[in-house]
Amino acid sequence: MEDKTKKIVNKGLLQSPELYEYVLETSVYPRELPLLKELRLVTADHPRSVMATAPDSGQFITMLLKLVDAKRTIEIGVFTGYSLLLTALTIPDDGRITAIDMNRQSYEIGLPIIKKAGVEQKINFVESEALPVLDELLGDSDNQESFDFAFVDADKINYATYHERLLKLLKKGGIIVYDNTLWGGTVAMPEESAPERLKAGRNYTIEFNKLLAADARVQVSQIPLGDGITVCRRL
């Protein structure tokens, strides 16, 4: 007998580049703040511009930041700073972002725009591998359960390790957003069908998605925006 619980209703969402363009043109670009647009356009010239957070994901992250009234946040993976700038523009004047990236060079590309926006004082940029910085933060008991929000958009192999640290740093009710959790759609492909350059990331991402789904410490929502983002709310 057919298992009705397995029947997938395909609502045809975002099945064409035109539809994505429609979403961007209708709801995202008209509301994108001018300096964010400037940073997005400056980043478009970068050879690795595809790494930047998609503006529709960014718009959603802005809403989450507002919903939890985020003041203290952590950003793992800054690149040229699109998600960092939108966070800095969204949190209050006395808000503070610990922004970690092992490469300061890309951050320098966005920095003049961040300065122009007048939000640089909210950012503590740390040029480092993320893990030791998280461990250092945890070493100070004042930091434990003190953050409202974290955005993780860096090396997929370490997402599970970051998750353990972030759950200790986050307040109850705090939000962690993980980016690229659908990994170009390869999570739903047999390994042999996935492009070679995406295979390792596919395998880490599949394991990480399973881990989150089974983690009773968080409420989870997998959102098919951008390359897939997963929102976790600490219970």
Q: Which residues in this chain contact Ca ion in the complex, by CB under 5 A? A: 153, 179-180
**Paired residues of 76 in beta bridges:** 100, 152
| CB nearer to ligand SAM: pick between 164 and 219 | 164
Q: How far is CA 132 from CA 46, 102, 203, in A?
A: 28, 11, 24
Task: List the one residue from 106, 186, 209, 230 that touches ligand SAM (CB under 6 A).
Answer: 106
Q: Quick one: what does residue 103 bind among Ca ion, ligand SAM, none, with the CB cut-off 5 to 8 Å set by partner type? A: ligand SAM
Instruction: Supply the minimum distance, in Å, between the C-beta of residue 151 and ligand SAM.
Output: 7
**15 alpha-carbon distance from chain centroid:** 23
User: Of residues 26-85, which lie at the interface with ligand SAM (CB under 6 A)?
Assistant: 51-53, 77-80, 82-83
What's the closest the beta carbon of residue 42 comes to Ca ion, in angstroms? 17
Half-sphere exposure of 25 (CA within 13 A, CB side): 6
Give the number of residues in contact with ligand SAM, rule: CB under 6 A.
20
Helix, strand or coil, per DSSP, at residue 150? strand
Smaller CB distance to ligand SAM: residue 102 or 138?
102
Residues whose CB is less than 8 angstroms from the CB of residue 200 and which lie 6 or more positions away in sequence, other chains included: 157
- Taking alpha carbons only, the member of 177, 181, 179 closest to residue 231 is 177
Partner in contact with 52, chosen from Ca ion, ligand SAM, none, beta carbon below 5 to 8 Å by kind: ligand SAM
CB of 154 to ligand SAM, least distance (A): 4
Least Å distance between CB 58 and ligand SAM? 7
Whole-number Å distance between alpha carbons of 7 and 25: 33
Instruction: Show the site string, 128-147: x = touches ligand SAM by CB under 6 A, - = not.
Output: -xx-----------------
**Contacts (CB under 6 A) with ligand SAM, residues 146-185:** 153-155, 158
Q: Which residue, among 187, 198, 183, 139, has the nearest Cα to 165 in the 3D structure?
A: 139
Q: Which of 35, 76, 79 shows the shortest CA–CA distance to 53? A: 79
Residues linked to residue 24 through DSSP beta bridges, in sequence order: none
Interacting residues toward ligand SAM by CB under 6 A: 51-53, 77-80, 82-83, 100-103, 106, 129-130, 153-155, 158
